[in-house]
């Protein structure tokens, strides 16, 4: 962990979904460096435990709690356990995501449903569970990790793009609902990020050279920057693209 990072989040608890790898793990690491007590949620319990142990070994406060954001029952269980071990959340980072890119007539209905469940319903579930606690705290931050796919649709992305467009709209609607409660909402919309996502979503025709892509730590720094906004202000959205070739 970076000893020189200002601990601007000292005393705050952060819930982070999809935190076992990639952007979620980078966000958990950086928020812990900034002083937050982080509760990591994901389906891969072993990877989740390893991520929490790395953060804790560097002096951070981290807890691993199993979570499938597509399941309301799992989200409820996560929230109950997180409250028990770390207290109410001042920060929620909705990062868990899934992309399956196929033409409509080649996509299973189950694959469509799963993408909507994880990318759109999951963030709503987690916000629904976190908001009452944030209201009691007198404020908080909800950061949703979206995608430029929410405004720039692409071939074979009907389900994914629809979910990310919905997440963008939901984030803006939450802003109107919550700003009077001093709860800030931010959408981070990256272009291509080297997380292994593309190798899973596009197993064929995938380009091996990922050097031009954004690093997960870049997105995590954007999350911290949004959380660092001066009192009385909020960062509505960031759209972040790599300078190299690609999207």
Query: 14 is written with which tokens?
Result: 């952060």
Map residue 167 onto helix, strand or coil: helix
Q: What is the mean pLDDT of the chain?
A: 92
The one catalytic residue among 112, 124, 125, 160: 160
Q: Is the pTM of this model over 0.75?
A: yes
What the chain holds in terms of domains, given with CATH numbers, is: 13-240 (3.40.50.720)
The model's pLDDT over 52-63, given as tens digits with 9 standing for 90+, comes to 999 999 999 999
pLDDT above 50 (res 143): yes
> CA dist 113 to 34, 83, 105, 139, 204, Å?
36, 29, 14, 33, 22
Compare 71 and 202 and report the one with higher pLDDT.
Answer: 71
Q: Is 238 assigned a catalytic role?
A: no
Query: 130 is written with which tokens?
Result: 């976190």
């Amino acid at each position: 962990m970076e000893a020189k990072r200002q601990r601007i989040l000292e005393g705050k608890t952060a819930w982070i979904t999809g935190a076992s790898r990639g952007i979620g793990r980078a966000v958990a690491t950086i928020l812990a460096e900034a002083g937050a007590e982080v509760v990591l949620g994901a389906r891969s319990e072993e990877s989740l435990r390893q991520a929490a142990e790395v953060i804790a070994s560097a002096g951070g406060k981290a807890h691993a709690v199993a979570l499938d954001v597509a399941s309301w029952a799992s989200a409820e269980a996560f929230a109950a356990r997180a409250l028990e071990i770390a207290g109410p959340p001042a920060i929620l980072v909705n990062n868990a995501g899934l992309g399956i890119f196929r033409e409509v007539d080649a996509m299973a209905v189950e694959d469509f449903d799963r993408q909507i469940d994880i990318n759109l319903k999951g963030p709503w579930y987690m916000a629904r569970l976190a908001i009452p606690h944030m209201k009691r705290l007198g404020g908080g931050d909800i950061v949703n990790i979206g995608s430029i796919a929410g405004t720039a649709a692409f071939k074979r992305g009907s389900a994914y793009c629809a979910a990310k467009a919905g997440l963008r709209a939901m984030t803006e609607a939450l802003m109107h609902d919550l700003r009077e409660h001093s709860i800030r909402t931010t959408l981070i919309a990256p272009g291509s990020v080297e997380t292994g996502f593309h190798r899973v979503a596009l197993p064929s025709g995938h380009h091996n050279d990922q050097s031009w892509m954004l690093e997960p730590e870049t997105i995590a720094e954007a999350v911290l920057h949004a959380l660092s906004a001066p009192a009385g202000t909020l960062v509505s959205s960031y759209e972040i693209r790599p300078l190299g070739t690609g999207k």
